[in-house]
Chain A
Amino acid sequence: MAHSPRTASLIVLLISTAAAVSAQADGRPRVEAAVAYTTNLIEDENGTMVSYALAPAVGAAFAWTLSSGTNAVLGGRLSRAGVDVDFQGSSQSAGNGWVVDVRAALEREFGACSAGTRGCTVLHAGGGALWATGPDDVAPFSTDRGAMLTGEIGIAVRVTSGMPFYLTGVAQAFRLGGSTASDPIRESGTVTRVLLGVRHGR
């Protein structure tokens, strides 16, 4: 596929980012796994919709304490998702694609987080960049879009007092469409990803 070298470069970028961040000695590492639901990538008024299927996602991040109860986070996620094309109710698989995102975020802790007890709740807001790939004969992947800016908010709730396990929920949004004159998406719109999963690491 034409997009494979690009995907490889994105993975290298992600690994490089993680490596650079890990060089910071006081960063607290985190790993996460989630299930990603993505709203429609395209709604064609002729009745066709293109979307990513429900997909697993993995991620890594590092967090630094800025002040009591406030953290900065740098991280990335990787997801491989099926691409579905729905022709007026008849859904067909068109192959697979990758979704890679890198992000920076600020988070705020609520509850007994410093004591490391369950119930500690952390909210975050941030932004970054996302790359989405898929079969290049299916819109929106037939147009090279490069990185798309993202915004996200999320919540994490600690569920254990010993090991630092959290249940996480993230809503991430990015704009898609109108990137070039030949872009079939004439009316750009918002795509939302919701990731529900678990995280290990404070």
Chain B
Amino acid sequence: MDVRRGALLLAAAAVVACDAPTVPSESPGYDPRLPLAGADVIYHWPLGHTIAVYAHSAGAPAGFDLPAAVRRANDLWRNALRYREFDIRLVTTPADADVVFHFDTDSVVSVTSCAPPPTGAAGITSACPNTAGTALDPIPLIGGGTGRVKFDVQISASPTRIPNATVFQRIVAHEFGHVIGIGRHSGDNADLMFGAPMVDAPSAADAQTIRYVLHQPAELRP
């Protein structure tokens, strides 16, 4: 009888984990949806995806290390995450890239066929949604071929827009936020995703926002 009771206790213990450790759901710190014609949409890479990034350093002002800035931006944003939702790897040719970072003095992709020519900002992230607004089309490579580039990130080389390495890193980190799924700007200047960023790392609201975005169904898929 005691043996049977013990076995029952064992079985009960095996199924007792009905109160699993729980992380409550979060709301975004601000609206992260990308305004497309007719709708605001959530976009992000598939969870667990390793994003291939080509950092085109041609035309870099002295002291601006674009590959290092991209790696740093990746680290900053990943610090906000909990489950390694994405990572990056730097690739050596734009044909192998999902994302291209470059200075505005020299590019390897052309978004002119699907988006207005990017001008007049310290950093600009461009993409080409398909006509249905459900996926991003590859951005054509300059020199031929379509490749697989889904985001073109242009960083200004002008010292009036980006006067020093600190601002440069800030702008790269801000644009990286757009690449990973934040489709709008925050209205709070304490956030990295403020239109004219004034802080160097994702804020708590930025962190909440990216965690929210990444776990929503993607309506627009890179």
> Footprint of B on A, CB under 8 Å?
39-48, 50, 85, 87-88, 90, 92, 94, 108, 110-111, 121, 123, 135, 137-140, 142, 152-155, 169-171, 173, 176-177, 184-192, 194
Contacts and interface: CB of A to CB of B under 8 A. Distances in A.
A85 B49 CA distance: 13
B116 interface: no
Interface size range on B against A? 20 to 34
A48 B21 CA distance: 12
A139 B82 contact: yes
A135 B101 CA distance: 29
B62 interface: no
9 contacts: A40-B20, A41-B21, A43-B23, A46-B23, A87-B85, A137-B78, A139-B83, A173-B13, A187-B19
Given A90-B47, A190-B16, 14 more contacts: A39-B17, A42-B20, A44-B23, A45-B23, A87-B47, A87-B48, A137-B81, A137-B84, A138-B84, A155-B3, A170-B10, A177-B22, A184-B23, A187-B19
B89 to A, nearest CB: 16
B47 A40 contact: no
B160 interface: no
A184 B204 CA distance: 13
Nearest to A140: B21
Contacts, number: 126
B121 to A, nearest CB: 32
A121 B17 CA distance: 26
Contacts of A108: 2
A38 B130 CA distance: 44
A191 B82 contact: no
A192 B3 CA distance: 22
A110 B16 contact: no
Given A85-B84, A135-B84, A139-B83, A191 B24 contact: no
Contacts of A47: 215
Contact of B6 (A87, A153, A194): A153
Interface string B13-54: 111110111111110000000000000000000111000000
A42 B23 contact: yes
